[in-house]
Structure formats: C-alpha cells, structure tokens
Structure 1
Amino acid sequence: MSHPSAIRQPVEPTIVTGGERRLAFEHWLLASAKDMSQAREEWRTYGVALLRLGVRLAAIRISAHLVHAGAGTDDPDAVSAYLERVLLGGPVFVDREVQRYFALVPPSTGRRREWQLARDDAEFIGPGHYLGVPSVDATSPQDGRSFWSVEFESAGALASPGAVKALVDHCRLRAAQQASAQGGS
C-alpha cells in the first residue's frame, strides 16, 4: 500500500500567454545566432537578424509567385490562412522585397532527395547559410519588409518537410494551370 504522501496531487493546468510563447520562440531562434546580443540589436534596428542555418533549423525558400498561385490570391491575410492550413501551422515568414516565402523546417530536410536539386521557384537552404529572419513581433505587412505570415506554434515546432513538398507541388500545378489558361485565351 502506498504511503499517503506518495499519492500524486492533481496538476493545475498551466496557461501560456502569447507573450510567453513569443519569448520562448525568440530565445529558441537566438540560439542560432552567432552573437545573441547582436541579433537582438539587428531585430531592433533592422527588423531582421542573421541566423545560422543547419543546427536548429533550415528553410525552404519559395517564390511569392508560386505561393500566390497556390493560394489563388496575393492578399496577405488570405495567403497566411492558406499557408497555415496546408502547412499545419508550421512557421513561415515572407520577405516582400525579394518576393520569397520561407518555411522553417528541420535541418535534416536537406537529406531528402526532392530538396537536393535547387530550382528557381523553391529550394532548400541549410547548413553553411545565414538567413535574415524577422523579429518574432513582426506579424503583419505593416511591420516592415519581412514578417511572419504564419506564426510559430511553439519553440522548436517546425513545418513538416512532407507538407512543404505537398504545398510546392500543388502551387506548381496551379501556376502551370494559370499559365495554360492565360496562354489559351
């Protein structure tokens, strides 16, 4: 028979605020910086910080043209909703100046055969590269040139490589259909 002090008491549920989630994600991202304080200063000054890829995270860079074809729109809110749905909440940011979306994925994604050949419309970027990643507070087009289109669910929760591959395949199909329809009219 168990001793009464060994009986487990019910655990109260913990509520994590959005601010706490952002702070946890910020710390997780900063672990990829060469210099954490410099990265924080870059976020404050420029809105983006250069982070090393290959240890904690990597990215699939996808052309905005392709993503907009798949979403059927270039409206930022509609594109964000589309990406959140098809990538199952995996984090994505957009750099409007270079017209690219960046889905954050595990570094091991680069070992998958489908990502070993670079293409203009979508490619894996990982070890040996740096990426300008927006501040975790940049969550809308009003926040600058680069912002989170799909915010992170939690620190370390990345997009599924399979979901990103399915997204890219679908977007390529939609872009080809649109080009064919425009050519035939």
Structure 2
Amino acid sequence: MPNPLPLVTGYATEEWLASAHPSPSTVCQEWGSIAQLALIPLGRSFEAVRIHEDIVHGFAGSDDPATVSARLAESLNGGPVIRDPGFRRYYALVPPGTAEAWRTPVVECITAGTYLGVPRADRVESNGGTRTSYWSVPMSRPNGLCTAADVLALVQVGHGLAREDES
C-alpha cells in the first residue's frame, strides 16, 4: 500500500517524529487520514508534559489561540507544543528521561507506555471548530524539543495565575 504522506527529503521533522514509532509507515498512514493525527509512543524520542489549558491560558494571560501560541513559542524558545482542544490540554514535547526527574504534582510528564496523538507537522491551527489536536507551537527541526526547565517555569507561573483567577 503506498504511503498517503510520503516521507521525502525536506520533511525531516515528519521523518523524525515518525521514527519514534516501531512502524513509521503506520504514522504516515494515520497522518494521511481525515484526522491527520498519529498515535506515537512516548519515551524513545521524546516525552510530553501534559498541561491543563487553565495553566497555559493563565500563563499567557489569554485564551486567544494566536496569543497563546506566540507566548508559548517565546517562553519555550520555540520548543514544540501540541494543543488538544477536545480535552482542554497542551502537551510540551521534552527529551526522553524528563519524567524520571519531574517532581511537580501540578502537571504530569508522560513517558513510555503512553501513546500521544501527534498531528501532522503542517496542522498548525484548529480545523474549523473541530476538537482535533494541532500544533500550537510547531516543531521547527528534528529533535528540537522544549527544555524541562522552561516548561517547569511556565507551569509554576501559569498555575499561580490560574489559582489567582479562581479566587
């Protein structure tokens, strides 16, 4: 069966993301589906910090997607972040091994044993009101991940601001 989304030179980011899966061709087929979302196992090439949108929006001072994306890109030095509007979460992609040292109870770093819905690299905005995941901050290069320290700083500030809003 031909690849619906061929991995060719120039698609280094897609190739790198797909290589995290035992069957990269499966990732390409899933990206070629209507949802343009592939389930990729965590732990091998990257892990993810799952952050509730209240924390991210508190940090950004806004729930406007463009404002949030710009603020995330700036504070995470361009590190990739996936937005899952259906479950009201953001996922900051971090290097393998981050979960071992992650010590904040506010958010969870997820790793091996978990699959993450990863959008196709060109899916950078919500698709007409659907609840499908997209890149809030697109991955700019293979292995160009967020640092744990940057994500932790964002979480600490955002959690504090979100709690203030609840008062």
Relative to the length of structure 1, the TM-score reads 0.80
In the alignment, does 2:105 pair up with 1:148? no
Identity across matched positions, percent: 38
Secondary structure at the aligned position of 1:138 is classed as: coil
In the alignment, does 2:91 pair up with 1:102? yes
Q: Structure 1 residues 113, 132: CA separation in 2 closer, same or farther (over 3 Å shift)? A: closer
1:107–1:127 CA contact under 8 A, matched in 2: no
In the alignment, does 2:45 pair up with 1:56? yes
For structure 2, list consecutive stretches of 5 or more residues without a partner in the other structure: 1-8
1:66–1:172 CA contact under 8 A, matched in 2: yes
Secondary structure at the aligned position of 1:141 is classed as: coil
Q: AA paired with 2:32? A: R
2:48–2:93 CA contact under 8 A, matched in 1: yes
Residue of structure 1 equivalent to 2:6: none
* Offset, 1:174: 0.5
Would you tell me which structure has more helix in proportion to its own residues?
1
Tell me which moved more, 163-172 or 45-54: 45-54
Relative to the length of structure 2, the TM-score reads 0.88
- 2:157 is aligned, of 167, 170, 180, to 170
Structure 1: distance between partners of 2:147 and 2:137 = 14
TM superposition outliers: structure 1 runs of 4+ over 2 Å: none
Structure 2: distance between partners of 1:73 and 1:157 = 26
Residue of structure 1 equivalent to 2:28: 40
* Offset, 1:113: 4.3
**1:72-151 aligned within 5 A:** 72-115=61-104, 117=105, 119=106, 122-142=107-127, 145-151=132-138
Name which one, 1 or 2, has greater alpha-carbon Rg: 1
Secondary structure at the aligned position of 1:107 is classed as: coil
Secondary structure at the aligned position of 2:86 is classed as: coil
For structure 1, list consecutive stretches of 5 or more residues without a partner in the other structure: 1-18, 181-185
Tell me which moved more, 140-149 or 97-106: 140-149
* Offset, 1:34: 2.6
Residue of structure 2 equivalent to 1:27: 15
Structure 1: distance between partners of 2:102 and 2:25 = 37
2:83–2:90 CA contact under 8 A, matched in 1: yes
